[in-house]
Amino acid sequence: MAGADPVSVRVWDLPTRLFHWLLALLVAASLATGKFDSLLGAGTLEWHRRFGLAILALLLFRLGWGFAGGTHARFASFLRGPRAVAGYAKGLLSGRGGEETAGHNPLGGWSVAAMLAALATQAVTGLFLVQEDYFFEGPLAKHVSRAVSDRLNAIHEANFWVIVALLALHLAAIAYYAIAKRQGLVRAMVTGDKRLAAGREGEASRGGSLATAAAIAIAAGAAAWGLASLA
């Protein structure tokens, strides 16, 4: 339909959007309480622990939702092979590619996977941390030796900068697509809708019921609470 007006297509289901914004808030809070605990006080690390467990619960939810969620929330829909990623990147570099996709584009899909992996690493290593100066101990610290705890602490500290780099890349990509490609990625993650070319209505998200999301969320929350209770 050449010349037809773009249509609004629902691509992000509600659980995916709630996950995204809750994760953004919790990551910001966790980074602040983890990096500025010496300024904010000893009790800050307890909040850091709580934020970390909440992030872990969200990541467990996202793992389940990656298989049972709506069309574009599923890992199978956005984790593309090397050829698709290389082709998309080549198009971007040439200035001829970067057409708006319904869900994550091939590069964006793997950046999401990288972010989830980095956050999972941070949350899991945090379970084993010991901070003697603040009398802080992660819920699983007593189950490993001090040498193992120190090694995981080193990973936790180094991975902080990996997360910062991935966040900077994420924000830069959003700005690029907004300015260069006129694609409102933030708006889409708020409303759930994207403006796509007429005729692409069939790319709307399907599946992923709220009942299924609630069941996965309860299971994820119970798992995180179980870990916290081991302290």
Low-confidence spans in the chain with pLDDT less than 70: 1-3, 38, 40-42, 97-98, 133-134, 231
| Domain limits for position 59 | 13-228
Per-residue pLDDT at 134: 63
Q: Residue 32: how many CB atoms within 10 A of its CB?
A: 16
**Cα–Cα distance measured from residue 135 to residue 226, given in angstroms and rounded to the nearest whole number:** 22
Q: Note whether 53 and 228 are within 8 A (CB).
A: yes
pLDDT of residue 38: 66
Per-residue model confidence (pLDDT) at position 25? 97
Q: Is 2 domain-assigned?
A: no
CATH number at 31 reads 1.20.950
- The domain total for the chain is 1
Residue 103: per-residue pLDDT: 93
CA distance 105 to 102: 8
Question: Domain for residue 50, yes or no?
Answer: yes
Q: What are the backbone dihedrals phi and psi of residue 131, each rounded to the nearest 5 degrees, phi first?
A: -120, 95
Quote the CA–CA distance of 150 and 44 in Å, as a whole number.
21
